[in-house]
Structure formats: structure tokens, C-alpha cells
Amino acid sequence: MNPFYAILANGMTALLAGPTGAIDWLPVPRFDGPTVFGRLLDRHSGGYLSLEPDQYDQVDQSYLPEGLGLETRFRRGSEQGWVRTWMSIGRTAIWLRYQSAFPLRLTCRPSFGYGAVRPAYYPTAGGMRYQNPHGPEIAQLIIQGPVRNTDRLDQWFLGPGEGVVVFRVSTEQPPDLRWLNRPIASDPDRHWGLTARYWQAARQPYAGPYRDLYERSLEIIRALTYRPTGAPIAAATTSLPEIPGAARQWDYRYVWVRDSAYAGEALLMAGDVLAARRIAEFLLNAVAPGERVFPAPFLRVDGTIPDGERDLLWLSGHEESRPARAGNGAIHQLQLDLAGSVLWLVYHLFAVDPQMPWLQQFWWAIEALAEWMRHTWSQPDASLWEYRTIRGHHTHSRVMNWVGLEAARRLAQTLGRTDQAERWRKVGERIRQTVMGDAARAGLFWPRPEAPTMDAALLTLPLYDFVPVDHPYFQSTLAMIEKHLVTDGFVYRYRHDDLGEARHPFMLAGFWYARVLMRLHRLADADYVIRRHVELATPLGLFGEHIDPETRTVRGNFPQLFSHVGLVITLAERQRLEAQEPLWNFSNHTVAHLAP
């Protein structure tokens, strides 16, 4: 797999560092903020921070074993040098700890507001201050160690020897100059050790195959999580294209309800009940009873509603893919699978950790979600794929309404709320009859009754316990998916939509397929599918949204929560099968015994 970017994060925002360690992406003060470094979306005006030699024979990278820190190693002849990069947990600060037998060129060229605003430069003792003349951002570069100035304000030579560079960003008004100017700690390795403890707290025991990738995926879920609320964003970037030069580039730096619920399920299966509960609480606290329960399909990390989509027309785009965008136009879409995704998580969370007071405390939100589904399940929606113009009665959305009502019904029985349980059971049965009636007429499940094409979302029907995996209608559906969407173990979510051809396989769909194969006891086939996806992780163990198997290139926003969640759930289920433990569904992961 071709090298791509590394992610580093601090629970508030995240940066991307390229194969030489150059930092090409850093939004502030949060994941969804404007960038200070944005060369990812414009090679000329986006801005970057780098520390690397002018010449070298070889470069390689790895994450540090203690946590999400990056080591970039350079070799020139018999001489070596390395740079270790990490982010402080807390306010935005990047640390670069280096040791080198040859000089390294430090370039610090911030560009505020997605590359639209050049900073004012103010030389300081041991570094440089950068100020946004049109906004609150102030950045401070501090250099410790052997340094030699150049004829440029934004470049220095460091070394030979060892030293530390720290880049801090303040967005407060007034700025905290004392923090910006604080001297670098005399022992940076101790600072890294304290930082690493944050990442070590996410680790969970696992003894199955692909352990390194499993642990890396849990770390990436944590890297994409906003620490104050526990909510994960869908990806760290905006506008990385599925197809370079085309129009499929979107902003994924928000908390999608569906994606977050999937992440909660993965964390729960991995054993991190606390992190799963924080996600569930964020989603339940976002519910608006008496109206559209989720005002938008996605939220900011603080739970508020984002602004709409805007094109950043001054940026050339990643691989010349215009326009780059901030915000997402799907904000006003009706997506009817969301409530079911959340209640599936809540149900299994309660089955794993049955805290009755917690269930009672959030019953107002569970009830609101169930009532919303009871009244809206038959409406057309944009589906989980967020079609820009297509609206219809999507089978996946209707099935997720059944899932949500079934979860709510079982939870209501646990609380002795028999009237509600019966009301939701009746509507759930109507949904089932409708979906199965459509399937009976066609002999299989179509994505929409009026759309005889194939959609990988239909792979989830047995995963959510709607039909047995060996049901004839699902078997016919699976045969069609394998014929039209599966290529050498990879799965396209569909072949065409309202924007044209879907050119690359979708990582999450491949993991859905592997999970279906496991349920069919086609374990050799499932292992092949898993292996094909694992082989196309980046050298650092990261996944994008899509993969181009021919060029072995990441496509879409990166790193992608969906993809890492899919890996964790799939490997966790594979391990359960090895241990001859049942997979989670309504039948064998029950809460009925908890009824008072």
C-alpha cells in the first residue's frame, strides 16, 4: 500500500503529517475549525510545518509504541536522524523532538482561514510569532537547540545534534500570551510520557488476528473523538476526493449520528463500555422531543447544528479536485435510519451494562426516538448514502426503523411499560410486513421497491437481526450483490447514483460482507475478504473511506471512522466465533431477564 498521511490528535483537533513528517493539515481550535496548516488542499497557499533534511537517501515512519506519536527516520549515507512528533493533550501545541547527525531544515509557514489569510510575522527570542490580521488566531514557534538562521523569515537550520521545536496556537480573545511564550520543558521525553498515557487508556485486550491493526483502529477512534463530549467525528479531513478531479468531495469533520452509533457499538464490543456510554449519552442528549428528533443528520462536536455547505473557491483542492468545501450540504436531509442506529447501540449497551437508573434517566429520549419512528417510517428519505437528489422508500431505512422499535419495545418491557411496548411492537410488525411484502413480490430485497439495482447496505439486514442470513430472500439478494458489487473481495456500495459512477470500493461495505460470510459459516471466504482489506491499510495501519485496489491509493476523507469501526467489529466477531460465543442480536443478547 502506498504511504499516505499519519494522524496525530489531542482530543480537540487533529493534524495530518505526510511521509516525511511535514504537517499539511491542522484546523483550530477544533476538528471542524479553519486551518492553520492546509497544504493538503492547496500545495501553494495552504501552509505547512516541516522539519527534514534537504537531502536524504531513505525515509521511513512508524507510530511510537507508547501511543499516538510519530517517528520519522532519515538516512543519508551512514548517517541517521529522526524526528518524533506529537500533540499535547489540552490546548493546541505540536511537539517535534529531533536528533540528527546532519542539519534539518525547519519551515514554518502557517496560513490562516483555509489558506485565505497570510499571517503577520513577529520575530521573537528563539522563534517566531504569527498573527492573523483578520481573526483571533496567534501562533508561537519556539526553537530549543542548535539553530542557524537563513535569509527567510520562515526557515531555519537545526542541528546537527538534538533539540525540540514547539508550535502553539491560541484562538482565545484576548490571547494567552503567557502560555504561548512558556519555555519548553527541559525534559520533552517526560512530556511525551505523560501524553502517551492518554492513548494507553484506550487500549483493550485482544488476542485475535491482526492485533496491530485492531489496536491501531481503537486508537484512531480515540483520535477522532472530541474529548469534552466523547463524540467521534466521521473523518479528520474535508474534501479529499473519491475520484480526483470530480465533484465527490465533502466535509466529514462532524459527528454523524449513524457513524457515531456504529463507533459506540465497536467500542462496546471491544470492551470499552465507558467510551461507548459517552457516545450514547451524546446522541441521546441531542434528541429533540416533539419535533424532528435529530435536527440534522450530523452535529458539531459540541452538539450544536453546523452551518451549511460553502465552497472554498480559492483553494486548488487535493489533487486539483475542486471545489474544496467547508460544511456539508446534507445537513437538511431526512435520513430515517438514524434513530434505529442509536437505539441498537442503547439496547446492547444496556445488555452489557444494565444500569436501570441510566435507562430511566434517558427514557425521555428513547421514547422520543421510538415515537418519531412510529410516525415517520413510511416517508421517503435520502438514505444512509445521503443522495443529493434521490428520495425514496429505502429498504435499509425501513429496516433500521424496525430495529429501533424492536430495541425500544424490549427496553420498555424491561421497565414494565407494557402499553408502549405493545404500541411499538405493532408498528414494527407493520414495517416488517411491508418490507417482506416488497421482497416477496421481487423474490429478493431491492434498495427501494421502485429501484431494481443493488446496494451494499442490504448486507446489514441479517447483521441487525431483521432476517436470518439463510433466508431465501436474503440469499437471492446476496447472490445479486456478489454478482454486481463484489470484485476480488472488495465491495462497492452501489455502481451508480445521482452523481454518476461510484468508481472505488467502500471499505465499510467490505467489512459488512465479511460479517455476512461469517454468519454463513463461509469462514475461509470471510478471512479472504478481511485479508484483502487489511493488505490495503496504509503502512501506518490507517484506512480511508474508499480504496483504489489498482493503484493501492487511499480515496475519500481520511482517516475514516466507518472503516476503522468496521475492522474492529469484524475482528471482534471473528474472535467470538473462534471462542464459540454467540454473535450479538436480539435473540441471544437479551435484556428481558432484567425486568423488575
Predicted local confidence at residue 246, as pLDDT? 84
User: Rounded distance, CA 432 to CA 500, Å?
Assistant: 32
Query: Residue ranges of the domains in the chain?
Result: 6-200, 211-583
User: Rounded distance, CA 243 to CA 320, Å?
Assistant: 11
pTM above 0.75, yes or no: yes
Are 404 and 374 a contacting pair, CB within 8 Å? no
φ, ψ for residue 504, nearest 5 deg: -125, 150
150: left (phi over 0), alpha (psi -120 to 50) or beta: beta
Q: What is the pLDDT of residues 36-71, one digit of tens each?
A: 999 999 999 999 999 999 999 999 999 999 999 999
φ, ψ for residue 36, nearest 5 deg: -100, -40
Asked if omega into 205 is within 30° of 0 (cis), the reply is: no
φ, ψ for residue 193, nearest 5 deg: -60, -40
Predicted local confidence at residue 594, as pLDDT? 43
- Please give the DSSP secondary-structure letter assigned to residue 240: -
Ranges of residues in the chain with a pLDDT under 50 are 592-596
Architecture of 6-200 per CATH? Distorted Sandwich (2.70)
Predicted local confidence at residue 591, as pLDDT? 64
Q: Name 129's Cβ contacts closer than 8 Å, sequence gap at least 6.
A: 121, 122, 123, 138, 139, 140, 141, 180
Q: Name 219's Cβ contacts closer than 8 Å, sequence gap at least 6.
A: 67, 68, 199, 202, 203
User: What would the CATH number be for the domain defined by 211-583?
Assistant: 1.50.10.10
Predicted local confidence at residue 95, as pLDDT? 98
